[in-house]
Chains A and B, each alone.
Chain A
Amino acid sequence: MASKRANEELPVIAHFEVRRRNYLAPDGSIDRPLPAFATDVRLLVELYRSMVLLRLFDRKAVALQRTGRLGTYAVSLGQEAVSVGIASAMREDDVLLPSYRDNGALLWRGVKPEEILLFWGGDERGNHFSGPRHDFPFCVPVGSQAPHAAGVAYALKLRKEPRVAVCLFGDGATSKGDVYEAMNFAGVHKLPLVFVATNNQWAISVPLRLQTGAETLAQKAIAAGFSGEQVDGSDVVAMRAAAEEAIAAARDGKGPHFIEAVTYRLGDHTTSDDASRYRSADAAQAHWKEEPVARLRSYLVGRKMWTKADEEQLAAECHERIEAAVERYLNTPPRRAETMFDNLYAELPEAYAAQRRELAGEDDA
């Protein structure tokens, strides 16, 4: 074709590349030399313990939902390495802006399991949590926390604080203008901001191929003027390494970075969803071979860093911790009705005082 030949004569003015990072193969063997932190056995074990805690916590939460003691709940099954790996690379004074499926990050940062249950059990006090006070709460409207992350990062940069904002969302969110507008602004101002897209292949029933025509989600960063990479999101070592590098660079004034964590949602979207309506069990089954908990366990066991006894002890510890949390959650009485007006404004306007009194039952005097 003549036109194509003519185009080839035109100069190339920009080059882009997207790299993919992984260290541990699905069977726990090593694909390439591990990053420096992986010599720290205690850290690897801590990452493992956190993923196991999350998986067992999710299992318990679903059981509570199925027995009418919890509302809708979103499990992290299959993607535990993303939120745990990312959070493990953050400092306490960094700012986390999670979606609604990042409980691994919340737990790592000190949010109590009973606080997560309280939120999904329908109580706003779950967001008044024990994690860092500046962290953002669960974000249910998909992707709408991304502009907040840009605002937070701008504030950190304005005050010259060596802190970083970390924003988590899913593959579906990358289709929203919110996320792109935030990325675009972060690129303009070279903000200390790390975007993490958990690409679990599904936005409820919509597969990735209907979400985007792009080869990778990571390349969306290029249009915003900064780097993006794809990471094996079922390899917690890779997640931790990618986060560590990106957060350090952001802290160092080198600007934002985008991490596409490629993983798979092994469970339903939430407890209100039934994935068998739109995908075959076989499709999910194949991905069980890649899942992050068994992968790290294989590595640890292979290196004699983890034993069957350790596993049994961990299961018992998690069970005890989760049961105690469930107990505290179930024993937390609801707030008094009139408190729905508290924290609406710093001070309740006179115009709404009567409505609060009505809820408090003070009107019949």
Chain B
Amino acid sequence: MPEVTLVEAINLALGRAMADDPDVVVLGEDVGVNGGVFRATVGLQERFGPERVLDTPLAELLISGLCVGMAAQGLKPVGEIQFMGFIYPCLDQLVNHASRMRNRTQGRLTCPMVLRTPHGAGIRAPEHHSESTEAMLAHIPGLRVVMPSSPERAYGLLLAAIRDPDPVVFLEPTRLYRAAKGEVDDNGEALPLDLAFILREGRDVTLISWGAMLKETMAAADALADEGIAAEVIDLATLKPYDENTVLGSVAKTGRCVIVHEAAHTGGFGAEIAALIAEHGLSSLLAPVTRVTGYDTVIPMARLEQRYMPSVGRIVTAARKACQYN
């Protein structure tokens, strides 16, 4: 099997989905001739033509609204928003239309669309290019929010998202686009949505994360192993709806939990998981659930962004504290 980067895996999945299903169309800014600013859609317009891989005007609200209209007509649009910082004009369409078209028409019209966007900081990008506001999206009923953390999962989860009969926001960890490499078999097999992946088993502490922060979380698990602490690492992968059973099952085993996310602390998705454990896993807890997150401030630009993001050291310290708690 060939080794590919995460962004190449995205490209493989898009190509596979378009080859399999003539209803799949790709649209967004610079996705056609240019192949996308991160090259996620490179070569697709040559293969499938400008009608199915279209360069839209520079209008994010339009891209999301087009997806709703196309999807209700039976196409399977995959829209690209160039960076997560530019997704906000799409919120009206996601909240008021995409996520509830099926419900408000009682199944008469549906919205099988995917909105892809690069997520997160760490690539020294300009202002507004480093956002991680996934919790906002995960709050919307009727939507799916998915974030892969490896080429293999990017391929399988994107195929699943495109085939899913409901709207999916697909968040791609910008920092891993080229940094994450792995073997991907372009066999057209999707991975299940709504399920978390246990990346590493351990009995002492559960580390839960998603997207690019899995890199630091896995490194922290290595460091903890050197200290004799066996960490279990969960990639949540789908944030909406998320896999409560895997989370609760792991915490029942370890009794300790550290949640890691790049997004700001207050109201982040870690709060949701901590509340779940408080409601349904309290009796198995041996230590307070802790969160290692971005700070409650605006994500700083390049010079300070590394200081904002959770480090391996902060994760190790939090996990160690949980294990020493009594």
Contact = CB atoms under 8 A, between A and B. Distances in A.
Interface string A177-190: 11001101100100
A350 interface: yes
Interface string A136-177: 110001001011111111111010000001000000000001
A187 to B, nearest CB: 10
A148 B56 CA distance: 14
A127 B75 contact: no
Interface in B234-285: 241-245
A147 B96 contact: no
A137 B104 CA distance: 8
B188 interface: no
Given A155-B75, A181-B57, A124 B241 contact: no
Interface in A175-216: 177-178, 181-182, 184-185, 188
Interface stretch (A27-35, A71-79, A311-319, A338-346): A338-346
A147 B102 contact: no
A102 B64 CA distance: 25
Contacts of B92: 141, 144, 178
Given A147-B68, A152-B69, A155-B69, A127 B105 contact: yes
Contact of B194 (A137, A344, A351): A351
A318 B201 CA distance: 71
B183 to A, nearest CB: 30
B106 interface: yes
B62 A185 contact: yes
B65 A178 contact: yes
Nearest to B143: A345
B241 A177 contact: no
Interface residues of A, number: 41
A346 B241 CA distance: 13
B52 A144 contact: no
A44 interface: no
B291 interface: no
B67 interface: yes
B180 interface: no
B61 interface: yes
B194 A349 contact: yes
A316 to B, nearest CB: 33
Interface of B: 25, 51-52, 56-57, 59, 61-62, 64-75, 77, 89, 92-93, 96-97, 102-110, 141-142, 144, 164-166, 194, 241-245
Given A148-B68, A148-B97, A155-B75, 18 more contacts: A124-B103, A127-B104, A127-B106, A137-B104, A144-B93, A144-B97, A148-B66, A151-B65, A151-B72, A152-B69, A152-B70, A158-B75, A177-B59, A178-B61, A182-B65, A185-B56, A346-B165, A350-B245
5 contacts: A137-B109, A151-B67, A151-B68, A151-B72, A345-B142
Interface of A: 95, 124-125, 127-129, 133-134, 136-137, 141, 144, 146-156, 158, 165, 177-178, 181-182, 184-185, 188, 342-346, 349-352
